A and B are shown apart, each in its own frame.
Chain A
Amino acid sequence: MNARIYNARLIFPREISITDSLDKYVNNINDKSSTKTKTLIDVQAKTQTDIQIQVQTATQNNAQNINRELSEVFIKDGCFVEAYDGPFDYEIDAKGLVVFPGLIDAHVHLREPGFEYKEDIASGTRAAAAGGFTSVACMPNTNPICDNAAVVGFIKEKAAEDGVVNVWPIGAVTKEQKGEQLAEIGLMKEAGAVALSDDGVSVKTADMMRKAMVYAADFDLTIIDHCEDASISNGGIMNEGLASTQMGVPGSPSIAEDINVMRDILLADYLDLPVHIAHVSTKRSVQQIRAAKARGVKVTAETCPQYFIFTDDDCRGYNTLFRAYPPMRRPEDVAEIIAGLQDGTLDMIVTDHAPHHEDEKDIEFCLAKNGMTGLETAFSASYTYLVKPGYLQLEDLARLFCSAPERLIKVGRGSFAIGAPADLTLIDLEESWQVDRFKMASKGKNSAFHGMILGSKVKYTIVNGKIVYSDFQNK
């Protein structure tokens, strides 16, 4: 596919590190892949100057610091190339739009194989495209569980047939996610697994986690750990606090997450190996990860829009749309999550897109399934709740949605690098829209964002040079 996109305002990831200082933003953009490779963009130098200023002004004067220079992007045979004269299969006038490297979601549930009544690869990847995601990494809690090369292979093949965005399978750490025996990690990697996780549960014991980290390191795969000490969460289904007390619902304390996060940090420290903490939701977890990063521990972490937007009070009235694990927490947790996104403690935003059938949600609160969909709302929600109030800038979102997940799953995407596959997301920042959970591409209608008005709208999603979603077609 050959194409030209002009009048494009490209948004480059702004890289930061908290290794040297907990308080100051430190710009280490130079050592990252997007600049090692020669790029099309002659405004690069200007961008960096801007960043120096932004480092100091942090969250203020958002609008003034935005780089407004426009550029062109050329695509040939599905990859970014230097300028050429055509012919083009299509041209897009991106005037008024911002252009991100294709968004990457490192944590979704596509439900296929086994739970196609909730979602399948066809519908899940269409939801991803509608939300601007060009790549999704899917968790292994399918049926059968993705704990062997055959299931990894099946997902890859099915994605090639039915999918519209790149699908990167995540393999289970242990057989059947039981935490007892290692899964065939090497063979899964060969078949296409990009990371490992027993998501839905923690890797059960510290001993198993240690062995898995050591073994996985030989295959250059990172373990994404769902942090929940089940002995403390003990059947709790919402955050333990005043709301759970008043609703009479068993509470899961925030320390159920923190204790497990601490375990993983200490293992990573002791082994000097990487670990990635899934869906961070608590204040203490953010603080522990920040401190660990500052002393050089190879820990990375993600959070989801629900954890910087909602609180446990949203569950009142027994609203099952807000049931998820980790549960919605307190306002002080939300504040710390935002701080963690600002200072680089939290590396990326993922959706934990968890589609469920309406029958599994239109039910008694305590029986409802955990999880909410997120692919179609994540970017707009992040823009609305992080950029608009001035906590972050667009370049930060490019880090959180593009370059950081690329560093975790290493699939050669998430930048505008010449020669790289042309994954792009074009967004209109001015357009706002109201979320209607019944009008979504996902089979799962369990969006907690239902009824909310969000700023920014994905207009085009381009994967390998091909337009896989256009907001105009859908109208």
Chain B
Amino acid sequence: MHLKSKDLLGIEQLSSEEITLILNTATTMKKVLVQPTKKTSHLQGKSVVNLFFENSTRTRMSFEMAAKYMGAASVNISSSGSSVNKGETLLDTAVTIDMMATDFLVIRHQQSGAAEFLAKRVKASVINAGDGMHEHPTQALLDIFTMRDKLGHLDKLKVAIIGDCLHSRVFRSNLLALTKLGSEVWVSGPASLMPLDVESTGAKYTKHVEEAIKDADVVMSLRIQLERIEKGLFPSVNEYFRYYGLDDKKIKLAKKNALVMHPGPANRGVEINSALYESDQSVISEQVTNGVAVRMAVLYLLSLRRNVYERENL
């Protein structure tokens, strides 16, 4: 089985079979990561360009490491060090990169739809590493990979996602992935940080964080940007933590040994307290390792799909 598209733009376009294929492949890839010599030749002779218009540590490094472990040439470009600063448009920048025989263009951009916009216009396989408030598919894949790895399955899990759903691409991609695989997503957080039609998206919304967390298999806290205070969306860090921050008391409502997750980078003492962050229930560090495995899987599967695409189009 191959992926259907040459690009990975979002979870929205993936079928549940494709998602499972990626997770299964990632399981294999994770084995590579625990070997003394972390080298495969899956992407020998391929090139991966990471084009990042927003700050990122883990996602960008994760893609870079994934590419390098599999033998690809990997290059990082950030907006500050590129011609974007000279006023070049996103499209012109991407086409320039494309014309250097680039196989994979990994893009993070502050505009929703940026990856989809480019995918139609370049020959490279575009991988969305986060577009505005839209999607962050590899994050969701690594999140559900972690859940499956720890809990053994993804069937009928109750996953509580707490925090700023309005601005969160992690929420959108996780919601799509989990509902496609048959799990239930509960959301809670300040109403001012909830999308207008959140219930029509398929999530179950409750204003009581406790209700969302109760008997959950997984509790995921979302990153909150402190700039939202200035925009009048919530009053203070103090009040946020009291009502929506994850702490020992709230997590006790979840199932025993429920997973505590966070996409990172976390504001300790705001979305989650330090004790819980470092507790045995927390899989936040493992999410990072799994991120590399999932991105290896995505690159590898897209390279197989690419062989077909290149025969047909190039």
A259 on interface, CB distance cutoff 8 Å: no
- Within 8 Å by CB of B134, from A241, A247, A253, A363, lies A247
A363 & B89 in contact (Cβ 8 Å cutoff): yes
**Interface check A87, CB cutoff 8 A:** no
B195 within 8 A of partner (CB): yes
Question: Which listed residue, A362, A365, A366, touches B91 by the CB 8 Å rule?
Answer: A362
If over half of B's interface residues share one DSSP class (helix, strand or loop), that class is named, otherwise mixed; here it is: mixed
| A 237-260 binary contact with B (CB < 8 Å = 1; else 0) | 000111011111111010000000
CB distance from B137 to the nearest CB of A (A): 12
A240 to chain B: which residues have CB within 8 Å? 196
Interface pair B132/A318, CB less than 8 Å apart = no
Instruction: Report the separation of the CA atoms of residues A241 and B196 in the bound assembly, to the nearest whole angstrom.
Output: 6
| B window 131-155: CB within 8 A of A | 131-135
Residues of the B chain whose Cβ atoms lie less than 8 Å from the Cβ of A249: 112-113, 132-134
Kindly provide the distance from the CB of A328 to the nearest chain B CB, expressed in whole angstroms.
16
Q: B197 contacts which of A241, A364, A367 (Cβ < 8 Å)?
A: A241
Most buried by B among A248, A250, A317, A365: A248
CB distance from B12 to the nearest CB of A (A): 8
Contact (Cβ within 8 A) B116 A317: yes
CA distance A317 to B131 in the complex (A): 13
Residues of chain A with a CB closer than 8 A to B195's CB = 244-245
B interface bracket (residues with beta carbon within 8 Å of A): 20 to 34
Chain B contacts for A366, CB-based, 8 A: 111-113, 132
Q: Which of B91, B117, B131, B198 contacts A248 (CB 8 A)?
A: B131
Q: Which residues of A contact B198 (CB under 8 A)?
A: 245
Residues in A with CB closer than 8 Å to B200 are 242
Residue B95, interface by CB 8 Å: no
Q: Mark A295-329, 1 if CB is under 8 A from B, else 0.
A: 00000000000000000000001100000000000
In chain B, positions 187-207 with a C-beta closer than 8 Å to chain A are: 195-198, 200-201
Within 8 Å of chain A (Cβ to Cβ): is B109?
yes
A241 to B90, CA, bound (A): 28
Question: Is A253 within 8 A of B196, CB to CB?
Answer: yes
With A247-B134, A248-B132, A364-B90 as contacts: A242 and B112 at CB distance below 8 Å: no
Q: Which residues of A contact B132 (CB under 8 A)?
A: 248-249, 366
Residues of B85-111 at the interface with A, using a CB-CB cut-off of 8 Å, are 89-91, 109, 111
Residues of A within 8 A of B135 (CB): 248
Interface centre among B90, B91, B111 (most CB of A within 10 A): B111
Cβ-neighbour of A364 out of B109, B133, B172, B196 (below 8 A): B109
Q: In A389-431, which residues have CB < 8 Å from any B CB?
A: none
Distance between Cα atoms of A251 and B198 in the complex (Å): 13
Known A248-B133, A248-B172, A363-B91; 8 more pairs at CB < 8 Å? A242-B201, A245-B196, A246-B201, A247-B113, A317-B116, A318-B117, A363-B90, A364-B114
CB pairs A–B below 8 angstroms (18 shown): A241-B196, A241-B197, A242-B201, A244-B195, A245-B201, A246-B201, A247-B134, A248-B135, A248-B172, A249-B113, A250-B133, A251-B196, A362-B91, A363-B91, A364-B111, A364-B114, A366-B132, A367-B111
